[in-house]
């Protein structure tokens, strides 16, 4: 075990006993030692991990749990998710909850996995009556409070629309992460704007923007307005040409001149650009719904209300004009016509964002299917680049800070730094030091459950499971594209261990 994990163990264990008394209990039931449970099937076997509470209506409790299916005893497990329900009897005198008839109502595994739900249902009906599923009423009440708090928090997610810009002629969106940030370029008198993905260089008089191989624009200010530049300074163009030579950047499909150069739209805030080839032209899609024909964007017009609709990053927005202002539109309150978008249309992909469609239901279930990977414990060599010295910034509503001047996701708490890369957590005593894969992250995150201010839904894994506050707590940070991970005990030789994520990395349901 690497030194930093030993340090983390000592520092965390000293506070865990206090923290665990202060935070909500996780939404998992029955004693940990009772789980997981494995059921034999006619073909293979299914392992059920610890049940998690979803909700309780009258005397029926609905659960979810991670599942692992093996076609043979020595086969690699295929992880999935299951949904269960049971009637319960509550003895308030002894404060014990007794589930009476645990049933599986839904299972979800990756595509290509055998359908095991019917066999699992039969095996569960046969085996579960002998299981001791009793748990305390206090556990149930705490679990329901947690589930309800998470549901309320999900309703408070930031749904403010980005800046949505419409143009009826060729245009290109240049995004900047805030106001322009200039840095000197080594061995030259030039400066570069570093918080945009496009080469943007200043010689002290003008700003020169490169949007494609050999295609340049010039402006007096970094934010524009820009106009086409046929002859950028040789020193600047040579610098970018050298980078393009190593990156094998393709030239534009047709020559760009001042006559056909797209308009440059600069935004220092989150933005989306809708472009049409000439005036907007709508055509019928289904009854009461039109779709924008001359655009790569799926923009809809609801005939009855005369409102425009667009879905961005899974969220719907509507406006009375393509020029806005745009407002958030809940997916479960869309006009009924959206549920009738044809399956064979170019807009069929939008059905997944329409509440109540089979595609939307499938997406929610698919987001719960765990993914696994084998990772090695111990020290690892990971390069994290910072723009200067690490700059720490507090996270609103959480006892947590993150480093804002890096493209990686680095968090700091209690003197330790946590890095997540491809769904795997690493820990270090310094932002630049050696990092270890941490199997203690689950304990740490459970103890810090009060971090969660905008949790979308619970993790389906219970054994050493990790609650999910980071994605939504950090939703306003530039690079929140990560997901939380559950680490199971080491089972493979050489000190490796299985890492299980709750679903698709970066998914928000």
Give me the chain's average pLDDT, please.
76
pLDDT of residue 341: 96
Last residue of a domain, one of 268, 283, 304: 268
394 and 488, same domain (yes or no): yes
d(CA 129, CA 123): 11
Identify the residue with better confidence: 243 or 229. 229
Here the tokens at position 376 are 């090695």
pLDDT of residue 446: 26
Residue 159 lies in a domain: no
Last residue of a domain, one of 268, 295, 320: 268
The percent of residues in the chain predicted with pLDDT above 90, rounded, is 35
d(CA 201, CA 190): 7
pLDDT of residue 369: 67
Q: What would the mean pLDDT of 476-492 be, rounded to a whole number?
A: 33
The burial of 132, by beta-carbon neighbours within 10 Å (0-12 exposed, 13-18 middle, 19 or more buried), is given as exposed
Residue 26 lies in a domain: no
Identify the residue with better confidence: 191 or 364. 191
392 and 488, same domain (yes or no): yes
Residue 507, pLDDT > 70, answer no
Any idea which residue has 């080594």 for tokens? 186
pLDDT of residue 133: 86
d(CA 475, CA 468): 12
Q: What would the mean pLDDT of 355-360 be, rounded to a whole number?
A: 92
pLDDT bin (cut points 50, 70, 90) of residue 477 is: very low
pLDDT of residue 506: 43
259 and 372, same domain (yes or no): no
By three-state DSSP, how is residue 274 classified? strand
Identify the residue with better confidence: 459 or 157. 157
Q: What is the pTM of this model?
A: 0.68
Instruction: Give which of 52, 14, 48, 149 is closest to 450, Cα–Cα.
Output: 149
223 and 295, same domain (yes or no): no
pLDDT digits (tens, 9 = 90+) for 18-44: 333 333 333 445 554 577 888 998 888
381 and 324, same domain (yes or no): no
pLDDT of residue 428: 84
373 and 362, same domain (yes or no): no
pLDDT of residue 110: 78
260 and 277, same domain (yes or no): no
Count how many Cα atoms sit within 13 Å of the Cα of residue 346 in the half-sphere of its side chain.
Answer: 14
Q: Which residues contact 248 (CB under 8 A, 6 or more apart)?
A: none
Residue 141, pLDDT > 70, answer yes
Here the tokens at position 359 are 């595609």
311 and 352, same domain (yes or no): yes
pLDDT digits (tens, 9 = 90+) for 169-222: 999 999 998 999 999 988 889 999 999 989 999 999 999 999 988 899 999 999
Neighbours of 74 (CB within 10 A): 6
d(CA 392, CA 168): 42
Q: What would the mean pLDDT of 390-409 be, rounded to a whole number?
A: 79
pLDDT of residue 295: 94
Residue 19 lies in a domain: no
d(CA 30, CA 33): 9
67 and 180, same domain (yes or no): no
112 and 69, same domain (yes or no): yes
Q: Which residues contact 478 (CB under 8 A, 6 or more apart)?
A: 177, 404
Q: What would the mean pLDDT of 471-479 be, rounded to a whole number?
A: 33
Which among 68-82, 102-116, 160-174, 433-447 has the top mean pLDDT?
A: 160-174
User: Domain of 385?
Assistant: 3-12+368-501
pLDDT of residue 127: 87
Identify the residue with better confidence: 394 or 227. 227
Identify the residue with better confidence: 368 or 72. 72
Residue 165 lies in a domain: no
By three-state DSSP, how is residue 43 classified? coil
Q: Which residues contact 183 (CB under 8 A, 6 or more apart)?
A: 191, 192, 194, 387
Residue 139 lies in a domain: no
d(CA 244, CA 234): 15
pLDDT digits (tens, 9 = 90+) for 245-277: 444 456 667 888 889 999 999 999 999 999 999
234 and 259, same domain (yes or no): yes
pLDDT of residue 112: 67
What's the total number of domains in the chain? 4
Last residue of a domain, one of 327, 347, 366: 366
Q: Which of 237-251, 256-270, 353-367, 402-416 has the lowest mean pLDDT?
A: 237-251
Residue 381 lies in a domain: yes
Here the tokens at position 148 are 């309800």
The percent of residues in the chain predicted with pLDDT above 70, rounded, is 71
CATH of the domain at 38: 3.15.10.40
| 486 torsion bin: left (phi>0), alpha (psi -120 to 50), beta (else) | beta
Q: Concatenated DSSP letters for 374-436?
A: EEE-EEE-----BSSS--EEEPTTSS-EEE-SBSSEEEEETTEEEEEETTEEEEESSTTS-EE
Q: What would the mean pLDDT of 478-506 be, rounded to a whole number?
A: 37
Here the tokens at position 26 are 């996780």
Residue 469 lies in a domain: yes
Identify the residue with better confidence: 392 or 421. 392
Residue 164 lies in a domain: no
347 and 424, same domain (yes or no): no
Q: What would the mean pLDDT of 419-430 be, rounded to a whole number?
A: 78
């Amino acid at each position: 075990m690497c030194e930093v994990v030993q340090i983390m163990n000592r520092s965390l264990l000293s506070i865990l006993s206090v923290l665990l008394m202060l935070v909500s209990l996780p939404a998992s039931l029955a004693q940990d030692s009772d789980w997981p449970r494995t059921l034999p099937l006619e073909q293979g076997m299914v392992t059920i991990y610890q049940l998690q509470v979803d909700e309780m209506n009258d005397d029926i409790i609905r659960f979810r749990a991670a599942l692992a299916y093996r076609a043979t005893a020595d086969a690699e497990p295929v992880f999935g998710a299951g949904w269960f329900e049971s009637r319960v009897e509550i003895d308030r005198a002894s404060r014990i909850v007794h589930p009476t008839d645990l049933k599986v109502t839904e299972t979800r595994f990756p595509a290509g996995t055998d359908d095991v739900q019917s066999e699992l249902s039969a095996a569960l009906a046969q085996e579960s009556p002998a299981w001791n599923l009793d748990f305390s009423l206090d556990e149930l009440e705490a679990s329901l409070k947690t589930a309800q708090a998470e549901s309320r928090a999900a309703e408070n997610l930031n749904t403010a629309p980005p800046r949505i810009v419409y143009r009826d002629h060729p245009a290109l969106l240049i995004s900047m992460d805030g106001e322009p940030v200039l840095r000197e370029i080594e061995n030259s008198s030039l400066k570069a704007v570093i918080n945009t993905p496009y080469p943007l260089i200043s010689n002290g008089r003008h700003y020169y923007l490169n949007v494609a191989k050999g295609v340049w624009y010039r402006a007096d200010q970094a934010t524009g307005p820009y106009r086409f530049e046929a002859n950028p300074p040789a020193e600047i163009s040579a610098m970018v040409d050298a980078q393009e030579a190593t990156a094998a950047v393709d030239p534009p499909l047709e020559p760009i001149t001042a006559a056909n150069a797209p308009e440059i739209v600069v935004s220092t805030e989150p933005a989306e650009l809708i472009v049409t080839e000439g005036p907007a032209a709508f055509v019928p899609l289904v009854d009461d719904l039109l779709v924008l024909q001359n655009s790569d964007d799926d923009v809809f017009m609801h005939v009855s209300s005369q409102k425009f609709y667009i879905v961005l990053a899974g969220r719907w927005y509507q406006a009375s004009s393509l020029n806005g202002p745009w407002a958030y539109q809940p997916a479960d309150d869309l006009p009924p016509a959206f549920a009738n978008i044809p399956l064979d249309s170019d807009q069929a992909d939008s059905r997944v964002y329409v509440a109540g469609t089979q595609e939307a239901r499938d997406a929610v279930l698919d987001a719960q299917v765990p993914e696994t990977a084998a990772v090695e414990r111990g020290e690892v060599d990971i390069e994290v680049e910072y723009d200067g010295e690490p700059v720490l910034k507090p996270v609103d509503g959480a006892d947590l800070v993150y480093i804002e001047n890096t493209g990686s996701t680095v968090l700091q708490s209690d003197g330790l730094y946590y890095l997540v890369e491809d769904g795997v957590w690493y820990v270090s005593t310094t932002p630049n030091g050696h990092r270890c894969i941490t199997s203690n992250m689950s304990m740490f995150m459970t103890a810090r459950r009060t971090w969660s201010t905008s949790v979308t839904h619970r993790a389906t894994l219970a054994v050493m499971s990790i609650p999910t506050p980071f994605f939504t707590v950090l939703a306003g940070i530039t690079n929140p594209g990560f997901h939380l991970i559950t680490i199971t005990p080491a089972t493979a030789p050489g000190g490796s261990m299985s890492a299980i994520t709750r679903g698709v990395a970066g998914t928000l349901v």
